[in-house]
Amino acid sequence: MTVGAKAAGAVGAVVDGPCTDLEEIVQSDFPMWCKGISPITTRIYDLGGAINVPVSVGNTVVMPGDAVLADESGVVVLPPDEVAAEAQKAIEIQIRGKGREASVRDTGVKLGDLSGATAKVLAKLA
């Protein structure tokens, strides 16, 4: 499936369930996000598949043309008209985060003190 998906132009896949044949996926250098690994394949059912059609993954509708961004923390799906604004928000958050990192590094202040998390935990413990 990964070889066929790559041949059709896919650059990665998100599966709403477990996937099989992990070794083949790794060997094909095809990024895959799934809910786990299964030793049981569905190839015997010959269900086929499709590309560039609406799908539902994890209760999220994914439309052809949507931007799908994924890393080890998860997957986000954005309609094309929201990508630029969300990218700008992400850049601003990263810039603020780098400022906090520098503040923590330069002053020795703990991140939990800076964010207020330490005070919240201590208040709950009291």
- Which pTM does this prediction carry? 0.63
**Using the 8-state DSSP alphabet, how is residue 80 labeled?**
G
- Read off the pLDDT band of 81 (50, 70, 90): very high
Mean pLDDT over the full length of the chain = 85
What does the domain layout of the chain look like in residue ranges?
A: 2-78, 84-125
Residue 34 burial (10 A CB sphere; 0-12, 13-18, 19+): middle
Cα(55)–Cα(10) distance, integer angstroms: 15
Mean pLDDT of 72-76: 88
- Where residue 39 falls among pLDDT bands split at 50, 70, 90? confident
Structurally, at CATH architecture level, domain 2-78 sits in 3-Layer(bba) Sandwich (3.50)
Identify which of 46, 35, 52 has the alpha carbon closest to the alpha carbon of residue 1: 46
